[in-house]
Amino acid sequence: MTAKRLLASAALALGLAATAAKADPVSDFYAGKNLTIVIGYSVGGGYDLYARLLARFMGPNMAGAPTMIPQNMPGAGSLKSAMYLAQVAPKDGTVVATFGRSIVLEPLFSGAKFDPRKFSWLGSITKDSSLCVSWAASPIKTWDDLMTKGARMGGQAAGSDPDVYAQILKTLFGSNLKLVTGYPGNNEMALALERGELDGFCGLSWSSLQSRHRDWITDHKINILVKASAGGDDEIQAPQMIDKLTDPQKKAALGLILSTQAMARPYAAPPGVSAERLAALRAAFRKTIDSPEFRAEADKLGLDVAPVSGEEVEKRLAEIYAQPPEVVALAKQAVGQ
């Protein structure tokens, strides 16, 4: 073989090697595709706002830069979207979903046919505190009123945060509140509250209150009756729900329920997504949340951002599902299931 041919062969080999080195099967897969974010609630609530913000910024940070498409799928307090993720959604990494933080407890409490530990977790945009609030014109103005005056409190469906916390107040604390359930989301309950159809509702996230209803705070339109969190929310001037309990077993049961506050705005892909695509989704999720552009827009909207990794969510779920049967049984009873 002549020197000229040898050089040509070497150049071709180097070119093929360079092309192979640049090839990225994950990027190639996502290029030109849509990536759907399924939102387990109706338009206008906190989960919807967070998801639409994420959809605006995450695409360019993904390998292959897919187009992010938000899709609302309300139903059963967002359980519908979790079941869709577990049983129907394609497992190729083209669908992720966000749903109520308490939904991950439904297999323990109601026997829902999915295992959140098997989801492909991206993480959570923030941690949060859940509140029970009442409208200023309502006779329900304090914790004692909530316990004794038969408050009409809004709900969505079994397993949703408003229903979970209302049932906790009835079962663990003996409140005689009346749960009016079936609303599609917090946005509809907020309208019912303003119209006087409800005295209040529980499970309202502090982040949603700041972003969607800031005037409720500044104009003193509501009473914050109690907060339910894992701590670290001293700026919220209200009693801590767990501090109202003295029984150790009841505290353990409530602690199990409150542990989901550490994954307040969760995102997951279906079980079975390949390790390479999950790694790409996680990397893009965290890069997006940490970006100055995302943070600036979240700040404009009044959205809290305190990221929780997918690995941290997996660890939290493992701890939840390792709780003693007696604690799980009491927690199940506490939420009325």
pTM attached to this predicted model? 0.79
Average pLDDT over residues 231-245: 86
Question: In the chain, where does the domain assigned CATH 3.40.190.10 lie?
Answer: 130-260
Query: pLDDT grade, residue 3 (50/70/90)?
Result: low
The percent of residues above 90 in pLDDT, for the chain, comes to 75
Mean pLDDT of 97-113: 93
d(CA 214, CA 233): 17
The 10s digit of each residue's pLDDT in 20-44 is 445 699 999 999 999 999 999 989 8
Query: CATH 3.40.190.150 residue ranges in the chain?
Result: 26-127+262-324
CB 213 within 8 A of CB 70: no
Mean predicted lDDT score pLDDT of the chain: 90
pLDDT above 80 for 11: no
DSSP, residue by residue, 261-291: GGGSSEEEEPTT--HHHHHHHHHHHHHHHHS
Q: What's the token pair of residue 59? A: 């695409």
Residue 70 confidence (pLDDT): 98
Distance CA 208, CA 194 (A): 16
Token pair 């093929």 is at which residue?
16
Over 60: is that where the pLDDT of 220 sits? yes
* CA atoms of 49 and 125, how far apart (whole Å): 12
Exposure class string for 107-133: b at 16+ Cβ within 10 A, else e = bbbeebebebeebbbbbbbbbbbbbbb
Q: Which of 56-60, 181-185, 299-303 has the highest mean pLDDT?
A: 56-60
- Count of beta carbons in the 10 Å neighbourhood of residue 169: 26
Q: What is the pLDDT of residues 308-318, one digit of tens each?
A: 999 999 999 99
Per-residue pLDDT for 181 more than 90?
yes
For the cut 50, the answer to whether the pLDDT of residue 122 exceeds it is: yes
Bridge partner list, 121 = 268
CA distance 331 to 172: 9
Give the model confidence (pLDDT) of 131-167 as tens digits: 999 999 999 999 999 999 999 999 998 878 899 899 9
User: Cβ(135)–Cβ(109) under 8 Å?
Assistant: no
- Residue 62 DSSP code: S
Q: What is the pLDDT of residue 2?
A: 60
Superfamily grouping for domain 26-127+262-324: Bordetella uptake gene, domain 1 (3.40.190.150)
Instruction: Name the percent of the chain lying above pLDDT 70.
Output: 92
User: What CATH number was assigned to the domain covering residues 130-260?
Assistant: 3.40.190.10
